[in-house]
Amino acid sequence: MGQGECPFRGNNMNILKAIFFRLLKINKKPSALEAFILNKIKENLEEKEACLWEKQINDINKVYRSPDKEEIIFYRMRNGHPYNDISISFINKSDEILIAKVLLTSVNNAALSLEASVWCVNGFVSIINYNHGNYVDYFEEYIGEVGLDELAVECEILANLSETVLN
């Protein structure tokens, strides 16, 4: 490195960003488990809602996972700031609405189950809350090792995303 050169340019800056995001548990896309849960909900929505759902999920470019892994927050960022494209929002724009609950149970061990509550905020898919954050890693590994067919899945839709509700 020459005199006066910034040590944080190029690849060095990218490495520092990656370390920073990893420490804060921030990723760019939903994990395999999160994507599986979100897809199960999409499969149970009406066609118009499912289309908006898919567009919203594809637009996620930042994911925060709490240290206890009980809360996952999805963001859509533009120029360093949260941004939500109104053209892909749901008609139901409640401040917070519980969209669905998804129960995952290990086929090999029925005592191991994980319930995910998925929330919409102001018309956008925003949050997953798990009832047992300490099981999240187990289910992530389980999916990777034995596949999705070894999971018993129950999905209950709890909200009408096409209902007109304004804040």
| pLDDT tens digits along 87-142 | 999 999 999 999 999 999 988 877 889 999 999 999 999 999 999 888 898 888 88
Band (pLDDT 50/70/90 cuts) for residue 80 is confident
Is the pLDDT assigned to residue 22 strictly greater than 90? no
| pLDDT tens digits along 143-164 | 888 777 778 999 999 999 998 8
pLDDT for res 65: 93
- Considering only CA atoms, which of 103, 104, 116, 102 is closest in space to residue 149? 104
Torsion angle of C-alpha atoms 140, 145, 150, 153, degrees rounded to 10: 10
Which three-class secondary structure state does DSSP give residue 132?
Answer: coil
pLDDT for res 114: 93
pLDDT for res 108: 80
Contact by Cβ (8 Å): 113, 136: no
47-54 long-range contacts, CB within 8 A, separation 24+: 48/162, 49/90, 49/161, 49/162, 52/88, 52/89, 52/90, 52/161, 53/125, 53/161
CA dist., res. 167 & res. 158, Å (int): 19
pLDDT for res 165: 65
- Mean pLDDT over 63-69 rounds to 92
Which three-class secondary structure state does DSSP give residue 6?
Answer: coil
pLDDT for res 20: 53
pLDDT for res 127: 97
All residues at 6 or more sequence positions from 73 whose CB lies less than 8 Å from its CB, including other chains: 63, 64, 126, 127
15 or 35, which is more confident: 35
